[in-house]
Amino acid sequence: MRRIGSLSIVLAITIAFSGLGSAVSANRWHSTRVTDPNQHVRTGPRGYPYRAKSEYILKELDLKPGDVVVDIGAGDGWWAGQMAKFVGDNGAVHASEVTERQVNRMKNSLANISQIEPYLCEKDSTGLAENSCDLAFLSQTYHHLDANSRVDYLRHLRRVVKPTGRLCVIEKYPLIATRYKSHGTMLSRLAQQAEAAGWIPVRYELMTGTYHYMAIFVSRDLFPPEP
């Protein structure tokens, strides 16, 4: 009886992990094998090609009801509108911009989405309280930050984001871009600056067909000394 019970447990665990593996494979795993010499050619919309990948990006961010997000340099509020669908009635998306004109545009276009809070912020601060956000999100914004104070800004975000929160940066990769190279940040530079500010990368990905990458970081404090 004991052997049968043990065998049943092993089978149950095997089946459970098989199912989990299938789910991960179906939703997140993508082969890096080059099966077509043209598979990395840009195919997305001209202005923001990575918006065509929004379903995948939002799955990676895995937002939950009640989450609080700060969308830094929210622009037209497009990403804020997408994320509001996931944070639920008890969540919030702080959509920051540095000009009144942009803030007013968002207030008008997103007036019917109660979770979104467009607001005017300084260039060197989100103006938000410490430990108030689950995610800091910068979409084509990082290269607009003052080049001499980016590490300080990232340190500020560590204070604003909760201890278990995350930082997500989407930027054009200048090394492969053929147009508007200045509208991006080298991946190595972002990684170096983020690490200097106390962030640790948990995922980097060049999004096929966009010439943009997504980088996700968590706080270095989550990694205690190895036993």
Does residue 46 lie within any of the structural domains?
Answer: no
Task: Catalogue the E-assigned strands of the chain.
Answer: 68-72, 92-97, 116-120, 133-139, 161-172, 199-207, 212-219
Q: Where does residue 76 rank: exposed (0-12), middle (13-18), buried (19+ CB within 10 A)?
A: middle
| Nearby residues of 174 by Cβ (< 8 Å), 6 or more positions away | 181, 182, 184, 185, 186
pLDDT over 90 percentage in the chain: 71
Structural domain total, the chain:
1
In the prediction, which pLDDT does 28 show?
61
pLDDT reading at 216 higher than 50? yes
Number of DSSP helices (H) and strands (E) in the chain, helices first: 6, 7
In the prediction, which pLDDT does 1 show?
42
Average pLDDT over residues 111-122: 97
Domain that holds residue 87: 65-221
For the CA atoms of 68, 72, 78, 83, the dihedral, rounded to the nearest 10 degrees, stands at -20
| Tens digits of residue pLDDT in 84-98 | 999 999 999 999 999
Nearest 5°: CA angle at 165, between 160 and 146? 45
In angstroms and rounded to an integer, the radius of gyration of the C-alpha atoms of the chain is 20
Spell out the alpha helix ranges (H) of 78-149.
78-87, 100-109
In the prediction, which pLDDT does 7 show?
37
Does residue 60 lie within any of the structural domains?
Answer: no
pLDDT tier, 40 (very low <50, low <70, confident <90, very high otherwise) = confident
pLDDT reading at 53 higher than 70? yes
Average pLDDT over residues 115-143: 97
Does residue 210 lie within any of the structural domains?
Answer: yes
Average pLDDT over residues 181-193: 92
pLDDT reading at 174 higher than 60? yes
Measured CA to CA, the distance from residue 7 to residue 12 in angstroms comes to 9
pLDDT over 70 percentage in the chain: 86
pLDDT tier, 9 (very low <50, low <70, confident <90, very high otherwise) = very low
Does residue 24 lie within any of the structural domains?
Answer: no
In the prediction, which pLDDT does 22 show?
36
In the prediction, which pLDDT does 180 show?
65
Measured CA to CA, the distance from residue 191 to residue 196 in angstroms comes to 8
Does residue 6 lie within any of the structural domains?
Answer: no
pLDDT tier, 16 (very low <50, low <70, confident <90, very high otherwise) = very low
Does residue 161 lie within any of the structural domains?
Answer: yes
In the prediction, which pLDDT does 101 show?
97
Residue 166 in contact with residue 154, Cβ under 8 Å? no
Query: Which CATH number fits the domain that encloses residue 112?
Result: 3.40.50.150
Q: What letter represents residue 213's amino acid? A: Y
Does residue 32 lie within any of the structural domains?
Answer: no
Does residue 15 lie within any of the structural domains?
Answer: no
3-state SS assignment for residue 118:
strand
